[in-house]
Homo-oligomer: A and B are copies of this chain.
Amino acid sequence: MPVTIEDLSKTLNLSRSTISKALNDRGDVSPRTRERVLQAAHELGYQPSAAARNLRRQRTDKIGLVVNYPIHQVSDFLAEFIPGLATIAEEAAYNLILYTSMAGNETRITNLCRSREVDGIIVAWPPRLSETAALCRLMSDERMPHIVLPRRVPHDDVSYVAADHKEGARLLTAHLIKLGHRRIGFERLPEVFETDYDRHAGYTTALRQAGINYDPALVIAADSSDDDYEARTFNTLMALPQPPTAILFFTDPAAIKVLSLAKARGISIPDDLSITGFDGILSSGVTEPALTTVRQPLPQMGKLAVESLLRLIADETIEPQQHTLPVELIVRRSTGLHIRT
């Protein structure tokens, strides 16, 4: 049975209120008593009950990380977020509760808000844009502070932390153009809202800046529910009358898969075809050839998400926190000069 404030009260012959005030430095307590209380608390090993505290103070000092995506598909990213998230949270004396398999379950989120298990919510990888907006409205109605990660939400009243995908795609495309490529394949993933849109905007921007015509045939909308969509993108593009000489894939794993696909077909990378990934995961650096890609500042994004959320928790009236962080182009050996024929 753990030591309660009542136990302290009895051994010290002081009221519970005095004990509480002494421990929380709320004034109204003489230095001598305060000392006695602190001493006794330490000796008896007193630690306030979290539940009782939470109930009385109407806050839990916890934030929820709600993962709105099949967990095994994002656990790699999660791993990169978590150190940042956890570190900042703990510095502010907050804990992190993990909620997975929340995909598509608005009821569970509603209940989470109403039960007041957490003081704020980080919504990670939420579903399609319209659903995300609905979700955020729901949380606003419940007056639950929240922030979306790592996706941009094009609504003025929604807080989010995202990376600059437009600039990322632009950098990759411009890099390929500088290498002499003119026909550049581009893989889309429309379900990844805003991210997909932004990347496509970056792609077209780079083309425009170089005076290259946009060819819709080179842009493939993939469907990640298809288990083998990377191969499909690759095959479709290479079967074109005029196949591209370079391809931007949507993720590093996709590009890595294509790496072995190409090798199996005798297509040399980067001599016959340049390819790029996106995200800069660890694996992308050890493939043969290593992938040219774009790195998102995942740790910083995690930190910023928590910091912003804490601000929203501290001050209800604060304006929405919207952050887009710069990305970094990583040039490696999967992209090379286009050999004109």
Contacts and interface: CB of A to CB of B under 8 A. Distances in A.
A175 interface: no
A52 B259 CA distance: 55
A51 B256 CA distance: 47
A46 B116 CA distance: 12
A60 interface: yes
Contacts of A240: none
B114 A45 contact: yes
Interface stretch (A68-76, A191-199, A216-224): A68-76
Query: Chain B CB within 10 Å — which of A52, A98, A256 has the most?
Result: A98
Nearest to A256: B286
Contacts of A101: 86-87, 90
A82 interface: yes
Interface in A36-94: 45-52, 54-55, 58, 60, 62, 71-72, 75-76, 78-80, 82-83, 86-87, 90
Contacts of A82: 71, 75, 78, 98, 100
Given A3-B114, A97-B97, A286-B287, A71 B86 contact: yes
Given A50-B116, A79-B79, 9 more contacts: A45-B110, A47-B114, A47-B115, A49-B116, A54-B55, A72-B83, A83-B100, A87-B101, A283-B283
A100 B90 contact: yes
Nearest to A285: B283
Contacts of A75: 79-80, 82-83
A300 interface: no
Nearest to A257: B286
Interface string A109-153: 011001111000000000000000000000000100000000000
A96 B95 contact: no
A253 B332 CA distance: 20
Contacts of A283: 282-283, 286
Q: Most chain-B CB neighbours within 10 Å: which of A54, A71, A79, A288?
A: A79
A31 interface: no
Given A50-B115, A51-B116, A98 B100 contact: no
A72 B302 CA distance: 13
A116 B2 CA distance: 9
Contacts of A96: 97-98
Interface residues of A, number: 48
A115 to B, nearest CB: 4
Contact of A2 (B76, B83, B114): B114
Contact of A83 (B48, B71, B117): B71
Nearest to A259: B286
A121 to B, nearest CB: 13
Nearest to A118: B50
A292 B115 CA distance: 49
Given A96-B97, A101-B90, A51 B54 contact: yes
Interface in A245-277: 256, 259
A315 to B, nearest CB: 19
B71 A100 contact: no
